[in-house]
Amino acid sequence: MNRSIINNDRIWGSVLIALGIAAVLFQPFEQIDKYIRGRTDTALTFLLLIIAVALAGVAFMGRPTQKAFWLVWMVAP
């Protein structure tokens, strides 16, 4: 079976594990929280709506690797 490196499950598993470790170490969502604190609720609502639309699009039309990335992104906080 001749599969390219981009379609290799072992590679994507390693990438997802690395993203999980980076999320624990660097806590990017706390940094984002510090940045948007004090901003208006309108900006946050707009951002959340964009994310919701993107998630719905990936859920219906995304590849399994994209779904796995978004799942890690949602679970990391």
Scan for tokens 């290799």, then name that residue: 8
Collapsed DSSP state (helix, strand, coil) of residue 8 = coil
> What would the pLDDT profile of 27-43 be if each residue is shown by its tens digit?
888 887 787 777 667 77
Residue 11: CB atoms within 10 Å: 13
Q: Rounded distance, CA 58 to CA 70, Å?
A: 8
> What would the pLDDT profile of 49-64 be if each residue is shown by its tens digit?
898 888 888 888 888 8
Scan for tokens 């609720």, then name that residue: 41
What is the model's pLDDT at position 3? 63
Checking if the pLDDT of 13 tops 60, the result is yes
The CA-to-CA distance between both ends of the chain, in Å, stands at 38
Scan for tokens 């990936």, then name that residue: 58
pTM: predicted TM-score of the whole model, two decimal places: 0.45
